[in-house]
Chain A
Amino acid sequence: MSAKTLYEKIWEQHIVVEATDDHPAVLYVDLHLIHEVTSPQAFSMLRERGLPVRRPDLTLATPDHSTPTKAELLYAEIPAGPAREQIYTLLANCEEFGVPIYDLKSPMRGIVHVIGPEVGATQPGKTIVCGDSHTSTHGAFGALAFGIGTTEVGHVFATQTLLQSRSKTMQVNVKGELPPGVTAKDLILAIIGKIGVSGGTGHVIEYRGEAIRALNMDERMTVCNMSIEAGARAGLIAPDETTFNYLQGRALVPQGAEWHAALERWKELRTDEEANFDKSVDIDATQLVPMITYGTNPGMVMPVDGHVPALTGDKAYEQALTYMDLKPEQSLLGQKVDVVFVGSCTNSRISDLRAVATALKGRKVASNTQMLIVPGSQATKHEAEAEGLDTIFIAAGAQWRESGCSMCLGMNGDNVGRGEYSVSTSNRNFEGRQGVGARTLLASPVTAAAAAVEGCVADPRVVFAD
């Protein structure tokens, strides 16, 4: 048998009907995650055609995107309007079609890509889809996970399958060890900076090498999460002891003899030594530094103490700098920051919150800056509170919220104002992403904490030197 990549192994295990010249392959879906924004039209399609959700037992729903993060809104009265209507449409659809949901009051609710792993629904070797591009997050467990459109959400509802063409494969090999103070977020930002926002188009990226093996699961999810920002639909990391230790004992993970059987299967999930990738990129981890974006896509990224590149004659780049109100060749250090956001499916897990708490302990958020810390899930929130992290955040002057997508995208009431600068741990710095006219600088949680303390962009290696 020929040598195979991890992607090819999972792909082949899920083929229901092989591709021919006339049609793509029919791929089976093991887990379908849904949320309020991209599902209503798919449920309507089922209703129009009189179809059921074929496998509600393989489907899991939660409201997160348009869901408020202020407890007084979330638990008392979500303000009237389309967002509220959309959330209640999800609740009603799940009820009607028998789809399990972590609803507004559930202690398991949260951002869909945070709760899947947390409850153990995300497992190695599974195919996982969701009407959301950051489904790539789940690839951290060695699952083939990718975002789909609403029409495809309908296909999965009705048949538990999708028509898919095989992707090309790309490996990103990260050698060496990350220097102290350099995080998984800096690593993925550097990768995107290197290969560009369309560098992974048509590919599934497998992240490999010692620096990847050394990451914990939260960090691996940060890396795989932003695969889509490099244009790749999915990111993958082969499962190992770190993965298994994370999963063992979680609610939806098999127990006892079944656990051991699963482990045997999961251990096979790695790229064979002789396997070929269509594309390979090498990264030297030892050379990496804290990163920050300066433009309006995640590929416009530089070292936090670097300089904004000179104009190139490219109109889009000029437009990006105009939007950001930044000058070519300027440094960002000292740039005033109005809002600091710690959250989103990229960086809202317990280790992110711990890193921010360590940084903020005994310090204060600058008076010109507002800091919002939003846990990725209710379970993460309770874990953080049990450790007393919330006390540190609040003492520093930050706001501590209920879980949700929050300021990652401007559709739930948490917005950055027009013309304001935000240092954000989320994944997209597109024009208007965090609110109309908002100027987003993407960075790691530690760099975000440094900006909060200083009230301006600052190098975390300097701010937290002691």
Chain B
Amino acid sequence: MQVITSFQSRTVVMSNSDIDTDQIIPARFLTTTERTGLGKHLFSEWRYNADGTNNDAFILNTQEAEGCFVLVAGDNFGCGSSREHAPWSLIDFGFRAVISTSMADIFRSNALKNGLLPIVVSEEFHKNLLNNPGVKVTIDLEQCSVSVANGGTENFAINNFSHYCLMNGVDELGFLQQHLPQIEKFERRDA
């Protein structure tokens, strides 16, 4: 996994609340056995017209969205299924962070494991982002802070362990494997 420290980007805003995993990536694209290549299906239902052509009105198909890798979304982003294909498709498309006021539990956990930052901010801070699409933000993972070019910085919470994994580019499996002796001991509990 890639080491993340800090980065800058303009934002793309999708202000709808409750954007669910079937919107992020519809089920018909889940027949893949790979993790990669899902970016083309991201928000497929909204991004493409019935005949397969681009829906030019959709934000990700506009000039404004080019080169942006921070998505600002409405409340409760990522609700629905446990499909890790949701963060995989966001990452494959180029996103590195999603900012909202709340995120569904499983989505958040999946995002962290893949280096996509799920950033939960206050309503006030969020409102400023919603009202200023395309504004430049700086995300500093070391400080767990997000700053907006038009003023304002806010800290966000990431549990210490995920923070460590993201900053060092390591995954969680190694940690679990170190505890195999305790796992074996636990398994003997009823024996």
**Which positions in A face B, CB cutoff 8 Å?**
16-17, 21-24, 26, 28, 37-38, 40-41, 44, 49, 65-66, 81-83, 85-86, 89, 131-133, 135, 147-152, 154-155, 158-163, 165, 197-198, 201-202, 228, 231, 233, 297, 299, 314-316, 319, 409-411, 418, 428, 430-433, 436-437
Contacts and interface: CB of A to CB of B under 8 A. Distances in A.
B26 A432 contact: yes
26 contacts: A24-B161, A37-B31, A38-B83, A85-B31, A86-B32, A131-B82, A132-B81, A147-B82, A150-B84, A158-B177, A159-B176, A161-B183, A163-B172, A163-B175, A197-B76, A198-B75, A198-B102, A198-B104, A201-B102, A228-B80, A410-B26, A411-B28, A430-B23, A431-B22, A431-B23, A433-B22
B8 interface: no
Nearest to A418: B50
Nearest to B105: A233
Interface string B127-150: 000000000000000000000000
Nearest to A24: B161
Interface stretch (B11-19, B62-70, B91-99): B11-19
Interface residues of B, number: 51
Nearest to B29: A411
B191 interface: no
Nearest to A295: B18
Contacts of A432: 22-23, 26, 45
B164 interface: yes
A266 B80 CA distance: 31
A316 B114 CA distance: 28
Contacts of A151: 84, 110, 113-114, 171-172
Contacts of B113: 149, 151-152
Contacts of B31: 37, 66, 81-83, 85-86, 411
B180 interface: yes
A270 to B, nearest CB: 21
Contacts of B28: 410-411, 436
Given A198-B102, A202-B105, A316-B74, A40 B33 contact: yes
By Cβ-Cβ distance, the 4 closest A-B pairs, closest first, are A82-B31, A40-B33, A147-B82, A149-B110
B30 interface: yes
A368 to B, nearest CB: 23
B102 A133 contact: no
A161 B106 CA distance: 17
Contacts of B186: 16, 28
B1 to A, nearest CB: 10
A133 B81 contact: yes
A197 B18 contact: yes
B122 interface: no
Contacts of B17: 314, 316
B15 to A, nearest CB: 7
Contact of A155 (B18, B22, B33, B172): B172
A231 B105 contact: yes
B160 A154 contact: no
A85 to B, nearest CB: 7
Given A16-B182, A163-B176, A201-B105, 17 more contacts: A44-B33, A86-B33, A133-B80, A133-B81, A148-B106, A149-B83, A149-B110, A158-B176, A197-B76, A198-B79, A198-B104, A201-B76, A233-B106, A410-B26, A411-B27, A432-B45, A433-B22
B106 A428 contact: no
A149 B16 contact: no
Given A22-B161, A23-B160, A198 B76 contact: yes
A161 B83 contact: no
Interface in B20-50: 20, 22-23, 26-28, 30-35, 45, 50
B139 to A, nearest CB: 22
A3 to B, nearest CB: 24
Given A40-B33, A159-B177, A201-B105, A428 B22 contact: yes
